[in-house]
Structure 1
């Protein structure tokens, strides 16, 4: 039986404020515009927030609206991440950051500055350390309609942003195609397939495919230190580490000779090929030591998926660390892997309709499978994995959010109470701000509105498993709802989960 994750609704001003008022007069470093980014006016800093590494219980503490915008495409859905105490939201418009300790500190960096450029895709925000700074990395697929005598072209543009200041520290642009025409579906319009980051260097490998007959899958390798890129044709990447990425050919092979290639990112040179005797392989998000792939033995098939397996490849040597047979299914499946930013990687498979089939855990230091179960396992329900962080897997069942141990797959016990306080209840003493941090009368929010842009009337009261986690808590997305004025003009709502244990 999976144990529920605590998620209680905070309805009092003390919890909504997140200690966002009062404090010293230190100014934010992000109080100016830089490299396409704009920030809010500097405000006094807030007291330190509680942290847990990893957090195992939460309370819903803030609801931040994500405004809609003119010209948004139908596939432009917000993607969320968390770096330290900064919550991130990415869409085609750009990336925004909000300090969850002091929500008045917010910034935004646009995806493209030129009016002739249109964004056609965006990656999830990725986490890295660059020169000791906490950095968010995001990649965009863009179409440059051309200027003067220049032909239209397809681009992959990567931004590295210091989340503390909201300033861009590096940007790399790589040309991946020349567009034939300028419409949204013009031949050569790029879109992203996979994206991987080396958390120690910030180097990225981004998979891109272009529409029509303008080109096949490619990998863009980009380095923030040199601010240079390399385009490697014919490969889709799974993982990158120490300047080397692991990728696989994008086309199926009737001969069953599908393989994995190790590539030196700076030069684009293939240093090793690893034959796996598969018709084709799907690249999955890797850890810092290994790359993970999902193999298919047949190039085309009907009536379900058969003979698939997980392959784990050592990024340093190219050795096959593990081959794990996948659970059989009568349906086509979707497979994904998530690293926990420590030593574990969790992989899951679901049907195309979203029914969870299998959950596997790997020790990324060795590449070996450590645990796993399927929807056929007695006494276990396969949850939908939403995040992994420092030894904990965060997941959602039909009934509630749950926690699993990333090293063993066992349920983690809940901490605290799962009951939500009623409107008349008072938070415990530990949740009440001290006199020195209590807001003044002028700062006190209304029943639903709080300082820093949170509007708890947007929260639907149904806690969900977080999409991204740090020691400062977690966040997830929710569809707009409620009676808040202008809620119909929102693309989504970001729910911040304050850690309590």
Structure 2
């Protein structure tokens, strides 16, 4: 492991997957030619597996801190979009081609000095006209335009990861001045997005609404009073909000995204339906109803068919406390299965449970809990094309998405050859690296060719959080000290090459 001072020096030179420097390709931070002016070597081919079942650490890209952030630990969100690893924070979206270390790019969150980015949602991989694209969503405050009061904006940007150029962008005003947005769902085939925002009130006065955005038309629409769980081909599956606490008048619903209208209300009225997952076929919800006679909450996981509106329910054990009702989180394998983890009754002392749903029907296909024989529920981190990726206390594991059974997996190596990347202190011999303070007049941020720096990998392999046929990525904290403010390192984007 290199010394902290050496890593700090290296970080001035390396932007990588998540830094805030441009590559030495002479690219502009917002658009323009991203290619290098000098001849580049032929990109090496790397094997692909669909789905990958074994990995070897092949690259580690430093993610630099945003100097305007007061928080010590930020940890950028990372994703593998085809063969490009991307990382985002409130300042910049960066991409690094894992098949060619000479290709990287950087795209500013906002070029306007009068605009503040308050939050950024994790980047998501989609396809646009057959191209790999990343969707990134920003909550912003615009304080420009003379004497106007600050206004909130939700900015959705679709980026071609091969070039780092924005393909499409939408901007939508919100009722609050922070541009608050969250809970986005995506159509991976079209790039359409639906997310909750603070929008116009519905008939009950509820201001939580669904913002629908389409990259093909670059148009948006708002569905008042709807919380979205899934979107596909313009159809949104969501839930309406109750008129008051324990009102038992929340409903499941389908909406037409382009028109912003709810087309059908479904199922039985309940206290609430909390969205937990969405696919190309179904929206999934955690439903709860307060039963006065029993002084208990009836619970279940509900699915809504985006085509027919059919509703399927998987009952869960009831709870006698609203504050202890467990939260469920789910992942879609982008093929046939939704896998969910949570507690059956209480957040603090309930039984850890994992459930698998057949997405062709929306019905439960399998499940197990910590009380199921000799099995423990792992920490589910990713899902891809029939495989669930998870982490236990002892190791990283694979599960069959269709059955929930453990899959055998080859033992991955900690890292690839050190020749794959430069040492922590390596510097290009042509002297082209600018100093940390170099800033061009156009406001863009310069940098060097962001090659991988494997010295930043801490040797503790984690389960992936984003997977493609090329491999997987996850975010690692500063290997020296997560709370060290003396260097520029926020976190490390670790790329694991697929080996089987």
* TM-score, length of structure 2 as denominator length: 0.80
Whole-Å separation in 1 of the counterparts to 2:269 and 2:374: 35
Whole-Å separation in 1 of the counterparts to 2:103 and 2:30: 18
- Is contact 1:239–1:287 with CA below 8 Å preserved after alignment? yes
The corresponding residue for 2:169 is 171
The corresponding residue for 1:100 is 98
Question: Following TM superposition, by how much is the alpha carbon of 1:344 offset from its aligned partner in structure 2, in angstroms?
Answer: 1.4
- Is contact 1:139–1:206 with CA below 8 Å preserved after alignment? no
The corresponding residue for 2:489 is 490
Secondary structure of the residue aligned to 2:406 is: coil
Secondary structure of the residue aligned to 2:290 is: coil
Whole-Å separation in 1 of the counterparts to 2:58 and 2:481: 18
2:67 to 70, 82, 87: 70
Indicate whether 1:336 and 2:329 are aligned.
yes
Check 1:318–1:492 CA distance in 2 against 1; reply closer, same or farther (3 A cut).
Answer: same
Segments of structure 2 that go 5 or more residues without pairing to the other structure are 1-22, 200-204, 428-448
Indicate whether 1:374 and 2:369 are aligned.
yes
- Is contact 1:34–1:168 with CA below 8 Å preserved after alignment? no
Whole-Å separation in 2 of the counterparts to 1:46 and 1:358: 44
The corresponding residue for 1:217 is 208
The corresponding residue for 1:208 is 197
Post-superposition CA distance 1:88-132 (Å, at most 9, x none): 112111321111111331112122221111112222212211112
Indicate whether 1:273 and 2:265 are aligned.
yes
Question: Following TM superposition, by how much is the alpha carbon of 1:316 offset from its aligned partner in structure 2, in angstroms?
Answer: 1.3
- Is contact 1:36–1:110 with CA below 8 Å preserved after alignment? no
Question: Following TM superposition, by how much is the alpha carbon of 1:250 offset from its aligned partner in structure 2, in angstroms?
Answer: 3.8
2:231 to 224, 236, 240: 240
Check 1:414–1:128 CA distance in 2 against 1; reply closer, same or farther (3 A cut).
Answer: same
The corresponding residue for 1:193 is 182
Post-superposition CA distance 1:29-48 (Å, at most 9, x none): x8632646895846334121
Question: Following TM superposition, by how much is the alpha carbon of 1:382 offset from its aligned partner in structure 2, in angstroms?
Answer: 0.2
Question: Following TM superposition, by how much is the alpha carbon of 1:327 offset from its aligned partner in structure 2, in angstroms?
Answer: 5.3
Whole-Å separation in 2 of the counterparts to 1:104 and 1:277: 56
Check 1:197–1:418 CA distance in 2 against 1; reply closer, same or farther (3 A cut).
Answer: closer
Whole-Å separation in 2 of the counterparts to 1:337 and 1:448: 41
Check 1:133–1:418 CA distance in 2 against 1; reply closer, same or farther (3 A cut).
Answer: closer
Indicate whether 1:89 and 2:84 are aligned.
no
Post-superposition CA distance 1:300-352 (Å, at most 9, x none): 9xx9x9422100000112110x2112356784422111111112111111576
Indicate whether 1:348 and 2:360 are aligned.
no
Post-superposition CA distance 1:454-496 (Å, at most 9, x none): 2222211111100100011111111102399998321111111
2:390 to 395, 415, 427: 395
- Is contact 1:38–1:107 with CA below 8 Å preserved after alignment? no
- Is contact 1:253–1:279 with CA below 8 Å preserved after alignment? yes
Secondary structure of the residue aligned to 1:275 is: strand
The corresponding residue for 2:444 is none
1:150 to 148, 153, 173: 148
Whole-Å separation in 2 of the counterparts to 1:87 and 1:142: 25
- Is contact 1:259–1:275 with CA below 8 Å preserved after alignment? yes
Whole-Å separation in 1 of the counterparts to 2:349 and 2:118: 25
The corresponding residue for 1:325 is 315
Question: Following TM superposition, by how much is the alpha carbon of 1:197 offset from its aligned partner in structure 2, in angstroms?
Answer: 1.0
Question: Following TM superposition, by how much is the alpha carbon of 1:355 offset from its aligned partner in structure 2, in angstroms?
Answer: 9.1
Whole-Å separation in 1 of the counterparts to 2:496 and 2:463: 9
* TM-score, length of structure 1 as denominator length: 0.80
- Is contact 1:238–1:293 with CA below 8 Å preserved after alignment? yes
Question: Following TM superposition, by how much is the alpha carbon of 1:452 offset from its aligned partner in structure 2, in angstroms?
Answer: 4.3
The corresponding residue for 1:10 is none
What value does the CA root-mean-square deviation take over the aligned residues? 3.2
Whole-Å separation in 2 of the counterparts to 1:487 and 1:361: 45
The corresponding residue for 1:308 is 299
1:291 to 283, 290, 293: 283
Question: Following TM superposition, by how much is the alpha carbon of 1:151 offset from its aligned partner in structure 2, in angstroms?
Answer: 3.0
2:423 to 446, 449, 462: 446
- Is contact 2:387–2:401 with CA below 8 Å preserved after alignment? yes
The corresponding residue for 2:6 is none
Whole-Å separation in 2 of the counterparts to 1:372 and 1:263: 31
Segments of structure 1 that go 5 or more residues without pairing to the other structure are 1-27, 180-188, 422-426, 433-437
Indicate whether 1:362 and 2:362 are aligned.
no
Secondary structure of the residue aligned to 2:487 is: helix
- Is contact 1:479–1:492 with CA below 8 Å preserved after alignment? yes
Secondary structure of the residue aligned to 1:202 is: coil
Post-superposition CA distance 1:180-207 (Å, at most 9, x none): xxxxxxxxx2322211111121111011
Whole-Å separation in 2 of the counterparts to 1:419 and 1:400: 13
Question: Following TM superposition, by how much is the alpha carbon of 1:419 offset from its aligned partner in structure 2, in angstroms?
Answer: 6.4
Post-superposition CA distance 1:136-189 (Å, at most 9, x none): 11111111123114332111110001111111100001111253xxxxxxxxx2
Question: Following TM superposition, by how much is the alpha carbon of 1:76 offset from its aligned partner in structure 2, in angstroms?
Answer: 5.1
The corresponding residue for 1:118 is 116
